[in-house]
Structure 1
Amino acid sequence: MASDIPAAFQKELTCLVCLNYLLDPVTLGCGHSFCWCCLCVFWDQAEEPARCPVCRQQSEQTNLKTNLLLKNLVSIARNANLFQFLKSEEQWCGTHKEIKEIFCDADKSLLCLLCSQTDEHGDHRHLPTEEAAEEYWERLANQMRSLWEKIQEIDRSLQKNSQGTDSLMFYAYQRGDMMRKVYQMVPPLFQEEEIYYFDGIIKEGQKFYKLIQKRQEEMIGKKTVLRKIYKELMNMCNKPDVELLQELGDKLMRSEAAQLHIPRPLLPELHARPMSGLMDWLNHFKVKISFSNEVSNQHIRVFDDVRSLKYRDDGLYVSLDASPSKYFAAWGTRAFTSGKQYWEVDVDSSWDWAVGVCRDSWLRKFDGLLSDSNRDSFLLVCVKEDNHYRLWATAPTTPLYIQKPVGRVGMFLDFHTGSLSFVDVARRSLIWRYEDGVFTFPVKPFTCTGHL
């Protein structure tokens, strides 16, 4: 970094990780500054909360913005160093004995003004060398941010994909078992050929399982490639300006090409197989439900809680840090304490919805929070995630890999067995059935929606 720039000034513009000029500088709450890319790699490799690499103070903020003041000061220092380099006599044009102050973007060479006007270079894109260097450093910083975000995206996808394998097969086996139990409840409606549905569900789940494993391998392979390219770009941060101008172009093209086709996590969805005679049998127990105690509450967090579900080594937990949303909730006017009841709720116009039954005590203290240990609410929850929908059951919170119902959802409450079943009315299909004996206390119908 030798130049007329004072050494003390250059030190303040140096990353304390890579010891080069700060590239895309960010400043932590403790006041220490680093290259954005260096800090990302440091935090990625650390097995602890995000901390400053120098003073070890924990950083409360990880989504850091560029420090524009430092960035501008680094630019001034870089330009001064480059000018000192170019004006040295050994760097002059050998033909015209002038400073090579022009950069030819076509063949990545430094030219004097006269050389840039020759027939060989006349039609090429030319920039002042200092301006070209700044543009290339900016392109390098932007490409590294883009590449790192893609790597993190793949990490998140790998996590989602791995989460889906075991829970998918759990749901497939559970669904087959649930259908058997429902058929046992209505033996006159049982049709012999439908026994094959049970095996078909398992085979469908196994098929998705293999596809998920294959996609997992594709994502790991892509991540390996992107990390290798990222390391190459980090090495470019050590290069002098002239070498950067000459070598960066090819690496940027390779990086951009590698980011074009990122494997996405699969979203397995089992078919909602119809059950012959199911709706005819359920309609024998149909009751009319009136809802009251309607509330519109911006702090109802059922849906944000489900969207925030994460997997850790110690199991499933619910994050309560999601931003509040506005929803409409209501519950039945009377509680059920015995017998068999069946009712339906229209969910077709909702982007998020939850239907089911709840204990009175949960409703009295209702704040819309959902806990994985909560045994007061037994719900079928539909949440919109990006451009698709996911179904979940609560108590405990369980992902359901089945087609989203369209129109109405039916609920069959059986106090004799202490169970609750959810039905896709249009498809005449079982969605989920809680195990026998999950509750013995009075419950009220419950619904919560976000309307379009």
Structure 2
Amino acid sequence: MAAASEEMLQELQGQLTCSICWKYFWEPVTIGCGHSFCRACLPSSTGAAFSCPECRQVSQVRDFPLINGSLAELTELGKGLSSQQLQSARGQRRCATHHQVLEFFCEDDQTLLCESCCQTPEHGAHRHSPVQKAAPNCRKKIQYLQNCLQKHFKETKKLLVKEKRPVIDWEEMIHREYLEWDSFMWPQECHLERMKQEKKNKKNRLSQQKRSLQDLMLDLQEAECQPNLDLLREIKQLLERSKSVLSQRAKALIPELRVYPISGMIETLNHFRVDLRMEPTSACPFVILSQDLKSARVGQGWQVDTQHGDDSDLHIVLAEQAFSSGRQYWEVDVTQLPQWTLGIYTTYLRTDSHGRITKDASVFFLQCVKREEDYFLQSYPGSLNHRLKSRIPRVGLYLEYQTGILAFYDVLQSSLIYQLPDISFVAPVTPMFFPGPPLPGTKPGPMTLCPEDSHLCACCYSSL
């Protein structure tokens, strides 16, 4: 009877535990599919698609669910019953089935056993350890988990700080883009609201992750100080909960480049379209130009031996044209290139350590690099380092000399990729191209300057 009661209580505890934070429900809410979670564990935004962690059913959370009062009352009742059971267990410390002292710990099931339990078919083939040996081993696991959690707790705090003071303020960048083309862009203010909501959602997820890590670290600290039997009773749940929290932890991964299509933008930029040609004398032996000077490809002699195809040298090709005023826009087809660099070459003023102003040559560019199966966009100078959902087939570059603007666009998506910080141009600016470096064992195609009258749309583009 005692064993049956214990099993029923364990089942009740499972029904009253949130599968996200692995703790008793706190302000429980029940979503459309019928599953319940802590209110704080659910996404705080409304109107967004939400995938249930239990059944993976996707639903549109239009209104935040109300607290399930009945489930909250039942949870409090379950906590009381659990406390009574714990006090009883501390009093007897005996097996509920065989009424013998709990002397062993099952390493496979993470449960306490008596000598008779060890002989049963359920546990007979498992690994058993004396309580005096198993408890110190569990404390070592807890200490290891505490170190891991502490590391990720600090990491999450740093990410929260970055959310408050981001290296790249995308909202401000897009806002400047609207101001640049206000007659076309102001009707697109919904994109700014979307960016604000995404930023808020990410901050809420990080805050919830921080709380979950903090709560778990405190519970592990308390468990480590418990008597051996009490620790071993709780270790299974603590390990499962730790695994769940760590799998959901905020990772400092390179973020994915977000796409914010702006209708009419590419059409507006085409008003400043220029017809470029490449300068043949600027090409190095590793780069071959076409006869019409409209495309460049990797030559036979260029071999890259590094694992990821990195190359410290930029074998750039310059355009014939240079600009010292006005606005210019050009597009480059990079469909057949896994790695490429596009930008401008110019000179700039620099102040040395003695306060003297000198003129130096420099490049400003956007580049795509491939690492294993992923593609990344990086800028120089600047802080862009974002992962791509898919390769960009055509890149548009917009140059405004007087105000020092250099912006890059995803032509297919009609979306701003990145705008370099304000540049002070003091000399003519020349477009530059770099069709590489090639990846080992591959034969990349050409980098091609697109004609002024060419257009790109989704219907004429096949995914890479």
Conserved in 2, the CA contact under 8 Å of 1:418 and 1:437? yes
Alignment root-mean-square deviation, CA: 4.8
Is the aligned partner of 1:358 residue 2:345? yes
Is the aligned partner of 1:280 residue 2:279? no
- Distance verdict in 2 for CA 1:212–1:103, change over 3 Å: closer
Conserved in 2, the CA contact under 8 Å of 1:358 and 1:446? no
Conserved in 1, the CA contact under 8 Å of 2:405 and 2:421? yes
Conserved in 2, the CA contact under 8 Å of 1:161 and 1:212? no
| TM-score relative to the length of structure 2 | 0.50
Is the aligned partner of 1:409 residue 2:395? yes
- Distance verdict in 2 for CA 1:407–1:122, change over 3 Å: closer
Which residue in the other structure is 2:144 paired with? 145
Which residue in the other structure is 1:315 paired with? none
Is the aligned partner of 1:329 residue 2:314? yes
The one of 240, 259, 278 equivalent to 1:289 is 278
1:59-106 CA deviation, whole Å, 9 max, x = no partner? xxxxxxxxxxxxxxxxxxxxxxxxxxxxxxxxxx9xxxxxx9973637
The one of 403, 411, 419 equivalent to 2:405 is 419
Which amino acid counterpart does residue 152 of structure 2 have in structure 1?
E
Mapped to 2, the partners of 1:357 and 1:390 lie a distance apart of: 20
Is the aligned partner of 1:447 residue 2:442? no
Which amino acid counterpart does residue 343 of structure 1 have in structure 2?
W
Mapped to 2, the partners of 1:428 and 1:415 lie a distance apart of: 22
**Secondary structure in structure 2 of the residue aligned to 1:427:** coil
Aligned-pair distance for 1:271? 1.0
Structure (1 or 2) with the greater helix fraction: 1
Which amino acid counterpart does residue 365 of structure 2 have in structure 1?
L
Mapped to 1, the partners of 2:193 and 2:421 lie a distance apart of: 23
> Aligned ranges for residues 196-275 of structure 1 at < 5 Å?
196-197=187-188, 199-232=189-222, 234-235=224-225, 248-259=235-246, 261-262=248-249, 269-274=258-263, 275=265
Unpaired runs of 5+ in structure 1? 1-92, 94-99, 185-189, 301-322, 362-373
Conserved in 1, the CA contact under 8 Å of 2:330 and 2:397? yes
Mapped to 1, the partners of 2:386 and 2:328 lie a distance apart of: 24
Which amino acid counterpart does residue 345 of structure 1 have in structure 2?
V
Conserved in 2, the CA contact under 8 Å of 1:420 and 1:433? yes
Conserved in 2, the CA contact under 8 Å of 1:278 and 1:428? no
Mapped to 1, the partners of 2:246 and 2:114 lie a distance apart of: 30
Mapped to 2, the partners of 1:401 and 1:260 lie a distance apart of: 21
- Distance verdict in 2 for CA 1:232–1:164, change over 3 Å: same
Mapped to 2, the partners of 1:299 and 1:439 lie a distance apart of: 37
1:281-323 CA deviation, whole Å, 9 max, x = no partner? 243x1212357234869799xxxxxxxxxxxxxxxxxxxxxx9
Mapped to 1, the partners of 2:127 and 2:376 lie a distance apart of: 54
Mapped to 1, the partners of 2:154 and 2:371 lie a distance apart of: 18
Conserved in 1, the CA contact under 8 Å of 2:102 and 2:113? no
Mapped to 1, the partners of 2:218 and 2:369 lie a distance apart of: 37
Range 382-391 or range 102-111, more displaced = 382-391
Conserved in 2, the CA contact under 8 Å of 1:158 and 1:219? no
Which residue in the other structure is 2:171 paired with? 172
Conserved in 2, the CA contact under 8 Å of 1:171 and 1:401? no
1:380-413 CA deviation, whole Å, 9 max, x = no partner? 2456799876655433435789987720112233
Which amino acid counterpart does residue 278 of structure 1 have in structure 2?
T
> Aligned ranges for residues 88-103 of structure 1 at < 5 Å?
103=104
Q: How many residues align?
A: 303
Mapped to 2, the partners of 1:252 and 1:421 lie a distance apart of: 49
1:235-275 CA deviation, whole Å, 9 max, x = no partner? 36xx66x7765664454344345445445688683513131
Aligned-pair distance for 1:178? 2.8
Aligned-pair distance for 1:447? 3.0
Conserved in 1, the CA contact under 8 Å of 2:395 and 2:410? yes
Unpaired runs of 5+ in structure 2? 1-93, 95-100, 288-301, 349-359, 440-464
Conserved in 2, the CA contact under 8 Å of 1:422 and 1:430? yes
Which amino acid counterpart does residue 104 of structure 2 have in structure 1?
F
Conserved in 2, the CA contact under 8 Å of 1:147 and 1:255? no
Mapped to 1, the partners of 2:128 and 2:114 lie a distance apart of: 7
Mapped to 2, the partners of 1:298 and 1:423 lie a distance apart of: 29
1:212-251 CA deviation, whole Å, 9 max, x = no partner? 2312321121111221233245436xx66x7765664454
Which residue in the other structure is 1:346 paired with? 333
- Distance verdict in 2 for CA 1:270–1:252, change over 3 Å: same
Mapped to 2, the partners of 1:254 and 1:344 lie a distance apart of: 52
- Distance verdict in 2 for CA 1:209–1:389, change over 3 Å: farther
Aligned-pair distance for 1:434? 4.6
Mapped to 1, the partners of 2:427 and 2:112 lie a distance apart of: 78
1:119-141 CA deviation, whole Å, 9 max, x = no partner? xx464337786577666655654
Which amino acid counterpart does residue 155 of structure 2 have in structure 1?
R
> Aligned ranges for residues 383-402 of structure 1 at < 5 Å?
391-397=377-383
Conserved in 2, the CA contact under 8 Å of 1:409 and 1:423? yes
Percent of aligned pairs with the same amino acid: 17
Which residue in the other structure is 1:195 paired with? 186
| TM-score relative to the length of structure 1 | 0.51
Which amino acid counterpart does residue 434 of structure 2 have in structure 1?
T
Range 415-424 or range 212-221, more displaced = 415-424
Which residue in the other structure is 1:108 paired with? 112
Conserved in 1, the CA contact under 8 Å of 2:304 and 2:438? no
